[in-house]
Amino acid sequence: MWGRLISYFRAIVGRDRFEAEMDEELKSHIERYADDLERAGTLRPEALRKARLEFGQVSSIKEDCRQPVGLLLLERLMQDLRHAVRTLRVSTNWMAVAMLALAIGLTTATLSIFDALFLRPISFKAADRLAYVNVRSKDAAADSTWAMWRAWKESDIFEAFGGMLGWWTVVIRTDAGLMVRPSAEITAGTLELLGARPLRGRTFSEDDPRAGNVVIISEDLWTRGFGRENRAIGASIDVDGKPATIVGVLPRTFRFPSWDTEVWRPIAEGAIGPGTFNGPMVIVRFRSDVPSEETLRLATEIAHQVDRSTVGMEAVRDKLAGYTVPTNEERAMPAIAGGVSLVFLALCLNVAGLSLTRFNDRRRQFALSIALGAPRGRLVAQAFTQSALIGVIGATIGIVLAHQLIAGARAWLPQSFLETSLHPLLLDWDTLFVAIGLALVATVVSGLLPAVVATKLDAASSLRVVERGGTETRSARVLSRAFVVFELALACALLVPMLLLVRSFLNLTAIDRGLNPDSLSIVQVNFDSTRAADPSSRATAQTRATELVAALPGVERVSWSVGVPTMESGPHTGYVRRVNASGVYGGRQLAIGMSVASDFFDVYRIPLVAGRALRLEDDDRRVVIDERIAATFFLDASPIGQSLAFGEERLEVVGVVRSVQKQRPQYPPTLYWKYKPGDLPYATFTIRCTAACPSEAVIRHALLPIESSLRAGTVERLADRFDRDLVAPRVSATVAMLFAAVALVTAAGGLFSVLSYAVGRRRREFGIRAALGGSSRAIGRLVLRDALITTVLGLGLGSIAAWWLANMLTALQFGVTINDPRSWTAVVAILALATFAASWRPMRTAMRADPAVLLREE
């Protein structure tokens, strides 16, 4: 067995040597025989002639010698491949390769991304029974509290129970420098609940939060920081400026609560975290023997007993991971998935369609080969090799494309979006194989079709240039036109929303925000509920924080507030009413109330339009409103000195500032009142820097000395926040553009295939027309008319689909609507251009139909 394999291998690898040696051996055989004959008395030339004659035909003996070593098959395969490579010079074959690569690459990349972000379940133990439990009603949500957590835990209604304070970033100091990495603070038992098994060391115990500062690190951090050495367990690592002892290492496969969490810290009941969420997140495993509705009903009852304010709300289960699609964008999801499948289908159809363009030529070529005595099997094998080569090249480029697209998505999608999934964004091989399989079937079947048809027909009828009828059969015509109309409709249906989304994006980038976001960083902070429980100690912590941050290089000013001006909603959202001189309330307007320090407008560089900014001596009733509120209530008079009501409170307007444009125009306007230091257990400060602001790590590091009373939550540059606001529109616009472009190319390719085929079939007709004196222009018009009818039909159907699709995507549009005439004009122009481009070559072919040539061919 091995001997034979080696023999095959030798023969294939050392093929040239094999041939040379065979030549030499056979030649020397003949010469030796001739020598013997010469010795026996025959003259040399006669001896050689006789020797050759008796030896037999050298080429056929060589064939026989090659056969046992498998070289014959190889020879044929090589021949077919050479033939196939030669046929690649035909441009339509390259188009087929491109279509295939696009189909495979685009579909695999899109579905892989969808799968990783939205579809794939998390890989924890009994994952379907794991969930977060929250208490809320349709329009209100209860704060989670440790009291509720304890009551639920003790009730024993859940199979397993854990808690987490949420996740945020910490500053880790290693030899490589400062790193800001995601961390999570969890209660003992949470890791067990999720089925995490440490690679080294242990998980957390109940004593850990009290015993000292301990952490569990990720395998990645273990590899980077400790070279995967066992000494890591028990070693110390600097987290947020404090040494912590490593007690365990979790494997790379364990990703929670985000896919890139690298540090886990233990918390005890009652702990508080940074950010505005003070309570624990409740993680549970539902019992397998009790329906989850029943468990939730019990949980709701307990919640009502513990906290009377939750009456009217219900305990609900929330996904542990995975992107929760906003409801207004939910309707776009099936549209996107359907769009991907349709584009894939269209691309595959096109690959088949492209081989149609040469159907007539190839059928004739096959028939000719058969007439010359080529075996049918060989012809079919040849056709197979040819389409398989197209398939393999297309698939290879497709894999590379898919890989690149996903790498691009990884680099380009915002971190906050990627973090919603616990899966890393990688190429999904299953999808890739399915896509390749389907695409290859389409290629091979369409490639084999002419060969099979030709080898079935008798040579005479195949060789004829055109059938007597001259034009396409009715059914073929209807089918092929329907196929192109479908593709054109698809292109139109994708082009319209694409243009709307691109214009939405451009509108969003062009908006004047009303403030200068460069060199501004925003830090959300939380005051400790025990060490900074009262306003005065919170105010002290705030002053200290201001000093620490202001001392950083490049920091110009620091201003405190509750919330930021770009907020879409806030802790104080309510109705504003105008109150006239006689105390009568007027119409209302939803607005966000923000408390800001007196230097806030300076730091943000929000221009004052009228009146003055807030002053230190102002009381709570003095407010500054933005232009939108002013325009709503005070069109008739100057707003300065006028009265407003916000909820029950009566307010006096002292100034008007420019409106800060939020991401959506429908978000409420803002009114500002004075910020009182230490009033609330949370606040925001904004840093104005001379140039670039200090990095997140530096700011956090600076705040570490007062960490016991104040903790930093999110730290973010305002420009980044604005950029992040633009991410979703940018993603939508780019994805739409990509698909619309592909759909357009597909439609143009489909039109080209069908027209080429039709022209091929009608050559006889065109020849006769030309012979009877028809001008070539008239013939060209015939082809163009065919193309235009198809396009108009596609455009008509596509418009309906576009209308429907655009209505599904209204949530993603900004500043444009489906009725926008400019987008429609652009669509019609683009489609007309594509139609003309696709018809160009078939039209030229038709116009060049020469009756003399046609006659000769028959």
Instruction: Output the six-digit token pair for 169.
Output: 């970033």
CB nearer other proteins, residue 27 or residue 822: 27
β-strands 177-186, 263-266 pairing: parallel
Contact window for other proteins (CB under 8 A) among 59-67, 95-103, 316-324, 330-338: 59-67
Q: Please give the radius of gyration of the chain, using alpha carbons only, rounded to the nearest integer.
A: 38
Residue with the two structure tokens 């109940």: 206
Question: How many CA within 13 A on the CB side of residue 287?
Answer: 14
Buried b (16+ CB within 10 A) or exposed e, 222-256: bebbbeeeeebbeeebebbeeebebbbbbeeebbb
CB nearer other proteins, residue 32 or residue 664: 32
Distance CA 717, CA 629 (A): 27
Asked, as a colleague might, if the bond just before 257 is cis with ω within 30 of 0, I would say: yes
Which residues make Cβ contacts (< 8 Å) with residue 286, sequence separation at least 6?
129, 130, 131, 158, 159, 292, 295, 317
Distance CA 681, CA 797 (A): 58
Confirm or reject binding of residue 56 to other proteins (CB under 8 A): yes
Contact window for other proteins (CB under 8 A) among 57-65, 532-540, 744-752, 787-795: 57-65
Confirm or reject binding of residue 518 to other proteins (CB under 8 A): no
CB of 56 to other proteins, least distance (A): 3
Contact window for other proteins (CB under 8 A) among 62-70, 153-161, 517-525, 780-788: 62-70
CB of 75 to other proteins, least distance (A): 15
The interaxial angle of helices 718-761 and 91-114, nearest 10 deg, is: 140
| AA identity, residue 523 | V
Choose, by CB under 8 A, the member of 54, 301, 620, 649 that binds other proteins: 54
CB of 78 to other proteins, least distance (A): 19
Confirm or reject binding of residue 59 to other proteins (CB under 8 A): no
Contact window for other proteins (CB under 8 A) among 48-56, 310-318, 351-359, 465-473: 48-56
**H-helix segments, 332-473:** 332-357, 359-371, 376-412, 415-418, 429-456, 459-463
Contact window for other proteins (CB under 8 A) among 50-58, 490-498, 517-525, 723-731: 50-58
Using CB under 8 A as the binding rule, the residues of this chain from 74 to 93 that contact other proteins are: none
Instruction: Output the six-digit token pair for 133.
Output: 């439990």
Of 437, 145, 196, residue with least CA distance to 308: 145
Choose, by CB under 8 A, the member of 23, 46, 64, 458 that binds other proteins: 64
Which residues make Cβ contacts (< 8 Å) with residue 430, sequence separation at least 6?
none
Instruction: Output the six-digit token pair for 181.
Output: 């990495």
CB nearer other proteins, residue 44 or residue 615: 44
Distance CA 669, CA 575 (A): 11
Distance CA 7, CA 11 (A): 6
If residue 546 lies in a helix (H) or strand (E), which one and from where to where? Answer: helix 535-550
CB of 378 to other proteins, least distance (A): 22
Distance CA 426, CA 406 (A): 7
CB of 27 to other proteins, least distance (A): 11
Using CB under 8 A as the binding rule, the residues of this chain from 555 to 614 that contact other proteins are: none
Q: For the chain, how far is it from start to end, CA to CA, in angstroms?
A: 56
Confirm or reject binding of residue 850 to other proteins (CB under 8 A): no
CB of 23 to other proteins, least distance (A): 11
CB of 57 to other proteins, least distance (A): 7
Confirm or reject binding of residue 7 to other proteins (CB under 8 A): yes
CB nearer other proteins, residue 35 or residue 143: 35
Contact status, residue 272 vs residue 165, Cβ threshold 8 Å:
yes
Confirm or reject binding of residue 42 to other proteins (CB under 8 A): no
Instruction: Output the six-digit token pair for 63.
Output: 């064939």
Confirm or reject binding of residue 666 to other proteins (CB under 8 A): no
Confirm or reject binding of residue 3 to other proteins (CB under 8 A): yes
β-strands 622-626, 608-611 pairing: unpaired
Choose, by CB under 8 A, the member of 48, 69, 422, 808 that binds other proteins: 69
Contact window for other proteins (CB under 8 A) among 67-75, 423-431, 534-542, 561-569: 67-75
CB of 66 to other proteins, least distance (A): 8
Confirm or reject binding of residue 55 to other proteins (CB under 8 A): yes
CB of 77 to other proteins, least distance (A): 19
What character string, x for contact with other proteins (CB under 8 A) and - otherwise, covers 391-430? ----------------------------------------
| AA identity, residue 257 | P
CB of 12 to other proteins, least distance (A): 12
CB nearer other proteins, residue 61 or residue 333: 61
CB nearer other proteins, residue 65 or residue 427: 65
Distance CA 837, CA 647 (A): 64
CB of 14 to other proteins, least distance (A): 13
Distance CA 479, CA 484 (A): 9
# of chain residues touching other proteins (CB under 8 A): 23
Look at residue 843 and give its three-state secondary structure. helix
Confirm or reject binding of residue 252 to other proteins (CB under 8 A): no
Distance CA 190, CA 194 (A): 6
Confirm or reject binding of residue 4 to other proteins (CB under 8 A): yes
Distance CA 652, CA 625 (A): 10
CB nearer other proteins, residue 22 or residue 476: 22
Q: Rounded to 5 degrees, what angle do the CA atoms 36, 38, 43 make?
A: 155
CB nearer other proteins, residue 51 or residue 576: 51
CB of 71 to other proteins, least distance (A): 10
CB nearer other proteins, residue 61 or residue 550: 61
Using CB under 8 A as the binding rule, the residues of this chain from 12 to 41 that contact other proteins are: 21, 24-26, 28-29, 32-33, 35
Query: How far from chain centre, in Å, is Cα 664?
Result: 23
CB of 22 to other proteins, least distance (A): 8
Confirm or reject binding of residue 68 to other proteins (CB under 8 A): yes
Residue with the two structure tokens 């028939």: 367
Confirm or reject binding of residue 448 to other proteins (CB under 8 A): no
The binding site for other proteins (CB under 8 A) comprises 3-4, 7, 21, 24-26, 28-29, 32-33, 35, 54-57, 60-61, 64-65, 67-69
